[in-house]
Chain A
């Protein structure tokens, strides 16, 4: 199983809503990532978890709140988003950090629209 599963696939939310994006992998990977991708642009790193601890926060606004409840799950909690936050949100996982040469496996993404 080399799959990273993200739910939901599509999400429309108002600026006052609270919602969560979910990501799951069963490859035994210990590093998990959240990326934001705008149309025709490369993914931008938001957060990295290593062994369920937050390793990197790329100065992401507090309206995005990550959570890693266990080694297989990664959530991204959303609150009071802005229309400019509309994007494709990608989750990824890799074996772990510190080995350099390990590839990351990406989910299909959640297409988020903020209205």
Chain B
């Protein structure tokens, strides 16, 4: 079965520093990977996706993610964190073996410290 894992419950980063939120995946076939962000009491917002092509994917709000096939990872990154980036981040994968069901990781809470 397709799955993603987010090993960190929480990540703390000082404002202005680079940030990384980790995600590893386990898929059979081609991986279709996504990152979403959720602000308090709101829905999920799509940030970026990897389907094929360049391993570095650029997305919304200055975020990017690096797809690494050998390490089965898809870490989310940003060169300079903003306090407004504080939110809950979910890595996700499409389960192409079952009607493209979206499977989410457990989520990582990102705290950007002023």
* Chain A residues within CB distance 8 Å of chain B: 4, 6, 31, 33, 40-43, 45, 48, 50, 55-56, 88, 90, 92, 94, 97-109, 111
- Contact partner of B107 (CB less than 8 A), chosen from A4, A41, A50, is A41
Residue from A45, A104, A111 whose CB has the most chain B CB atoms within 10 Å:
A104
A48-B99, A90-B44 are contacts. A101–B94 as well, Cβ < 8 Å? yes
Q: How far is the CA of A76 from the CA of B42 in the complex (A)?
A: 19
Query: Which of A43, A92, A98 contacts B100 (CB under 8 A)?
Result: A98
**Chain A residues in 8 Å Cβ range of B52:** 101
Contacts of A109 in B (CB 8 A): 41-43
Residues of B whose CB lies within 8 Å of any CB of A are 30, 32, 34, 36, 41-46, 49, 51-52, 88, 90, 94, 96, 98-102, 104-107, 109
Residues of A within 8 A of B43 (CB): 4, 6, 90, 106-109
**Could you jot down 29 A-B contacts, CB within 8 Å?**
A4-B43, A31-B100, A40-B88, A40-B109, A42-B106, A42-B107, A43-B44, A43-B104, A45-B102, A48-B101, A50-B99, A55-B99, A56-B98, A56-B101, A88-B41, A90-B43, A97-B100, A99-B100, A100-B51, A100-B100, A101-B49, A101-B52, A101-B94, A103-B34, A104-B46, A104-B102, A106-B44, A109-B43, A111-B41
Using Cβ atoms and an 8 Å threshold, which residues of chain A touch B34? Answer: 103
Task: Report the Cα distance A58→B46, complex, angstroms.
Answer: 23
Q: Are B30 and A100 in contact (CB under 8 A)?
A: yes
Task: Give, as a whole number of angstroms, the nearest-CB distance from A38 to chain B.
Answer: 11
